[in-house]
Amino acid sequence: MNHGEQAASALGRPWRAPRDHSGPTFVTARGAWLADREGHRVIDATSGALNVFCGHGVESIVDAYLSQLRTLAHVDMSQGLAEPAHLLAERLRDIPGHGGDRFFFANSGSEAIELAVKISSLYWVAVDSRRTDIVTFERGYHGSTSLCQSLSGLPQTGTTPDRCGSGVHRLGFGEFTGAGQRSSEAREHIAEQLRTMLADTAAGTVLVEPFLNVGGGIRLPEGLLADIRRICDEYGTLLVLDEVFTGLGRTGAWFAQEHDGVRADLTAFSKGLTNGVCALSAVAVGSGLLERLPAGGIVSYGHTMSASAAACTAASATLEYMRRTGAVDAAAGIGRRLLGELGRALHGTDGVLDVRGHGLALSVEFDSADTAESVQQVAYDLGAYTRQQGGTVMLAPPACLSGEEEDRLADHVVTAVRKVVAAQ
Ligand SMILES: Cc1ncc(COP(=O)(O)O)c(C=O)c1O
């Protein structure tokens, strides 16, 4: 065991076996680049944990955060208030595409999902207590707390006992795979399932991601979100969108629901909020809905660090930076060009099942997880750090990529695929 492995042996590693020390150890990051302990530099096509949307080490965000830490780091929101939380809520209200006018803050994406589900459950307690069931996607991922694991449909992401499985109904793609998942037939198939579920069950809430991130990097078929909204309206069902991954820019819009012209009743978001500087998540909700909750709309929730002044300041600085630099439009442009490059080069290649993308979230799907793993490794050696999830290699770089970095990233991934395929 080398020094790094020995140090890492004290660390409980999420999603990995206790003795699994595989993967690089990173020591520095700047812009779109990471450097590992061996001094190898790679383009970070994982954006940290998919959350460093503007690039690593943005001075204005880091400075604002540090300065707020020195002035007033945090107070307890149940007792008093801090200005940065008000300012952030006001800024978020001005951002298009989420349908909310009040914002509750938590720390992780999982907490935001739990909070959104809690608000929808409180609503149903007040309006019709029979409608506590929830509809989610078979391949959805909503976080790793026990409730979120119960709501998620992916077997590989949850082994804790199911807490509310009996009230969860799952939508699935059925026989549709690869590019077929984007087809109008897949859209009809899913919409029909939802209609049947809402007619046959007591479901009061539909919880979906506009883009199945952990579930394979899959954008829902175009127009499906609008169908889901329409069907929810027909049945008086609440639509909760999990925009933890897509929220704030990733798909080339501030929120992914904008693409389909949809407004959710509740939107949970997190990853793009502080550019990876600190933990923060949020739920956007309409005050009309809040007014219908029991106890005058009191939402009984809160974590020690909820809406910390420093985190809210980091988020405000992130929003300001994104607006000033046009990061959302940049993401759309870079994503479109990368998808074009990867599609042209890899379409029809042996072992490649699909090349797809939604803004700056691109996926190359292979015929096996082994191929995807080899591609990730070879791409790393060439200088591109990608994310492997099962048979899919995902690229979610920050929106600060220069034209040259964009070309390099596409080139490294294409070269890696060709090398791996040639060796098979
Ligand atoms: C769509 C989605 N929902 C929820 C979560 C959970 O967020 P967190 O890991 O911050 O708890 C994630 C995390 O990847 C996610 O991608």
Binning pLDDT at 50, 70 and 90, where does residue 403 land? very high
Binning pLDDT at 50, 70 and 90, where does residue 6 land? low
Domain ranges for the chain, please list them: 3-57+326-423, 72-325
What separation in Å is there between the alpha carbon of 269 and the centre of ligand 1?
A: 9
**CB 250 near ligand 1, within 6 Å:** no
* Residue 192 pLDDT > 80: yes
What separation in Å is there between the alpha carbon of 244 and the centre of ligand 1?
A: 6
**CB 110 near ligand 1, within 6 Å:** yes
Q: Give, for ligand 1, the residue of 150, 152, 245 to mutate: max count of ligand atoms closer than 8 Å to Cβ.
A: 245
What separation in Å is there between the alpha carbon of 116 and the centre of ligand 1?
A: 13
pLDDT tens, position by position, 138-161: 989 999 888 898 898 876 666 555
- Kindly state the percentage of the chain with pLDDT values over 70: 95
Sign of CA dihedral 90, 94, 100, 106: negative
> By alpha-carbon position, which residue is closest to atom 4 of ligand 1?
142
pLDDT tens, position by position, 93-115: 999 888 899 999 999 999 999 99
> By alpha-carbon position, which residue is closest to atom 8 of ligand 1?
109
Binning pLDDT at 50, 70 and 90, where does residue 351 land? very high
**CB 312 near ligand 1, within 6 Å:** no
Using CB atoms within 10 A of its CB, is residue 295 exposed (0-12), middle (13-18) or buried (19+)?
exposed
Q: What is the mean pLDDT of residues 362-378?
A: 97
Q: Which atom of ligand 1 is nearest to the CA of 140?
A: 1
**CB 173 near ligand 1, within 6 Å:** no
More reliable by pLDDT, 9 or 54: 54
Q: What is the mean pLDDT of residues 301-305?
A: 90
**CB 114 near ligand 1, within 6 Å:** no
More reliable by pLDDT, 7 or 13: 13
CATH of 72-325, one of 3.40.190.10, 3.40.640.10, 3.90.1150.10, 3.30.70.20: 3.40.640.10
**CB 143 near ligand 1, within 6 Å:** yes
**CB 109 near ligand 1, within 6 Å:** yes
**CB 335 near ligand 1, within 6 Å:** no
The yes/no answer on whether domain 3-57+326-423 falls in CATH 3.40.50.620 is: no
**CB 293 near ligand 1, within 6 Å:** no
Res 23: pLDDT = 86
**CB 211 near ligand 1, within 6 Å:** no
What separation in Å is there between the alpha carbon of 421 and the centre of ligand 1?
A: 32
Binning pLDDT at 50, 70 and 90, where does residue 133 land? very high
**CB 31 near ligand 1, within 6 Å:** no
Res 11: pLDDT = 80
Spatial CA neighbour of 297 closest among 128, 148, 118, 132: 118
Res 80: pLDDT = 87
User: 1-10, 96-105, 137-146, 257-266: which range is least confident on average?
Assistant: 1-10
Q: Which atom of ligand 1 is nearest to the CA of 143?
A: 6
Q: Which residues lie below 8 Å from residue 384, measured CB to CB, with a gap of 6+? A: 42, 43, 45, 408, 409, 412, 413, 416
What separation in Å is there between the alpha carbon of 143 and the centre of ligand 1?
A: 5
**CB 149 near ligand 1, within 6 Å:** no
